[in-house]
């Protein structure tokens, strides 16, 4: 089922609701050791298939989820980003997540994704707040959170590793 959130456009990128057709691009990212170093390590095709199945199910249940972003000029695959329901310390949260292919790092694209997703989360979905978390030493990701307006809240354990949790609140609430 399509809905009006299926396409998410930013200044430099076009985001498409994740679908089966993105499997090859997801495999490319999930096999890249540079990208996956901070995301639990490279993943096999089978693990990517599982990730994709969960992402499709998330869209069906919640009406939003992960988008695949590509350049508006040229169409190259830039990365994936989105909003995902998670439970942290027993509490339901919506996580804002992002990952960018290494050849596109350091030109502000993750920040552009994060800002677009935060606007969508607040203005179109009406969420009260979103969280983002990363390994404590992932300074690039922490910087993206800060540039997108998030504030550090607390340390958490995620997948058995120490992470820092940041939060951004809906300014209209």
Ligand X SMILES: CC(C)(COP(=O)(O)OP(=O)(O)OC[C@H]1O[C@@H](n2cnc3c(N)ncnc32)[C@H](O)[C@@H]1OP(=O)(O)O)[C@@H](O)C(=O)NCCC(=O)NCCS
Chain residues that interact with ligand X, rule: CB under 6 A:
35, 38-39, 98-100, 105-111, 134, 138-141, 143-144
Instruction: Look at the block and give the residue holding tokens 């995301």.
Output: 39
- Helix 23-30 / helix 45-62 crossing angle, nearest 10 deg: 120
Q: To the nearest whole angstrom, how small is the minimum distance from the Cβ of residue 158 to ligand X?
A: 10
Instruction: Look at the block and give the residue holding tokens 């050849």.
Output: 103
Residue 98 or residue 150: which is nearer to ligand X going by CB? 98
Q: To the nearest whole angstrom, how small is the minimum distance from the Cβ of residue 134 to ligand X?
A: 4
Residue 72 or residue 126: which is nearer to ligand X going by CB? 72
Structure token digits, residue 85:
């329901």
SS3 content of the chain, % helix, strand, coil (to 5): 35, 35, 30
Structure token digits, residue 75:
């169409």
Residue 10 or residue 134: which is nearer to ligand X going by CB? 134
Residue 97 or residue 127: which is nearer to ligand X going by CB? 97
Q: To the nearest whole angstrom, how small is the minimum distance from the Cβ of residue 111 to ligand X?
A: 3
Q: To the nearest whole angstrom, how small is the minimum distance from the Cβ of residue 87 to ligand X?
A: 17
Instruction: Say how many C-beta atoms besides its own lie within 10 A of residue 173's C-beta.
Output: 9
Residue 36 burial class via C-beta count within 10 angstroms: exposed 0-12, middle 13-18, buried 19 and up: middle
- Asked whether the beta carbons of 67 and 81 are under 8 A apart, the reply is yes
Q: To the nearest whole angstrom, how small is the minimum distance from the Cβ of residue 110 to ligand X?
A: 3
Residue 28 or residue 126: which is nearer to ligand X going by CB? 28
């Amino acid at each position: 089922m399509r809905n009006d959130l299926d396409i998410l456009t930013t200044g430099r990128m076009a985001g498409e609701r994740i679908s089966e057709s993105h499997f090859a691009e997801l495999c490319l990212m999930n096999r890249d050791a540079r990208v996956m170093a901070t995301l639990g390590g490279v993943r096999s095709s089978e693990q990517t298939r599982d990730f994709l199945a969960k992402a499709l199910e998330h869209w069906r249940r919640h009406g939003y989820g992960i988008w695949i972003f590509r350049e508006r000029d040229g169409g190259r695959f830039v990365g994936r980003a989105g909003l995902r329901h998670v439970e942290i310390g027993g509490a339901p949260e919506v996580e804002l997540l992002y990952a960018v292919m290494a050849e596109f790092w350091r030109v502000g694209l993750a920040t552009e994704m994060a800002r677009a997703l935060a606007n969508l989360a607040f203005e179109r979905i009406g969420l009260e707040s979103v969280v983002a978390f990363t390994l404590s030493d992932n300074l690039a990701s922490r910087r993206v959170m800060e540039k997108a307006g998030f504030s550090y809240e607390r340390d958490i354990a995620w997948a058995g590793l120490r992470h820092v949790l940041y939060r951004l609140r809906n300014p209209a609430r």
